[in-house]
């Protein structure tokens, strides 16, 4: 059984930075990619970014392009999300996700972390 544990969330001022980490335990036979989603109160969980198994391919939501960077360290079984120039609109609970198929859509997510809260003050 795979477990994903996020860390690094917190309260930050607008324009500041945070780095989220997602530590994975257990093994899966079909880890195609890792990614991040976020969910604000009253909103649907939305895609933020994802990275392929080898780290050669990444995808970003338009709202975070140029500000967020995803990376992974397979030796540490960890994926990171560097968030820069944070905006109040980025306030949400951020969830780590492990994909079991060749897609970055929510339907391909096999495992979810418990989430970590990011709050950006203006």
1 has pLDDT over 90:
no
Res 22 pLDDT > 70: yes
**Confidence tier at 117 by pLDDT (50, 70, 90):** very high
**For residue 30, what pLDDT is reported?**
62
Cβ count near 33 (within 10 Å): 26
Calculate the CA dihedral of residues 84, 89, 90, 93 and round it to 10 degrees: 160
Comparison of pLDDT for 30 and 3, the residue scoring more:
3
Q: Are strands 18-25 and 3-7 parallel, antiparallel or unpaired?
A: antiparallel
For the segment 25-61, what is each residue's pLDDT rounded down to a tens digit?
986 656 789 999 999 999 999 999 999 977 789 999 9
The pLDDT tens digits for 53-92 are 777 899 999 999 999 999 999 888 899 999 999 999 999 9
Query: Which pLDDT belongs to residue 29?
Result: 59
């Amino acid at each position: 059984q795979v477990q994903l544990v996020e860390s690094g969330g917190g309260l930050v001022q607008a324009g500041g930075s945070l780095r989220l980490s997602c530590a994975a335990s257990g093994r899966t036979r079909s880890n195609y990619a890792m990614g991040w989603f976020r969910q604000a109160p009253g909103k649907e969980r939305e895609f933020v970014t994802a990275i392929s198994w080898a780290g050669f391919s990444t995808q970003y939501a338009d709202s975070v392009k140029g500000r967020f960077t995803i990376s992974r360290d397979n030796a540490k079984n960890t994926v990171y999300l560097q968030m820069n120039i944070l905006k109040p609109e980025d306030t949400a609970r951020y969830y780590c996700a492990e994909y079991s198929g060749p897609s970055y859509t929510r339907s391909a997510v096999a495992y979810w972390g418990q989430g970590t809260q990011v709050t950006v003050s203006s």
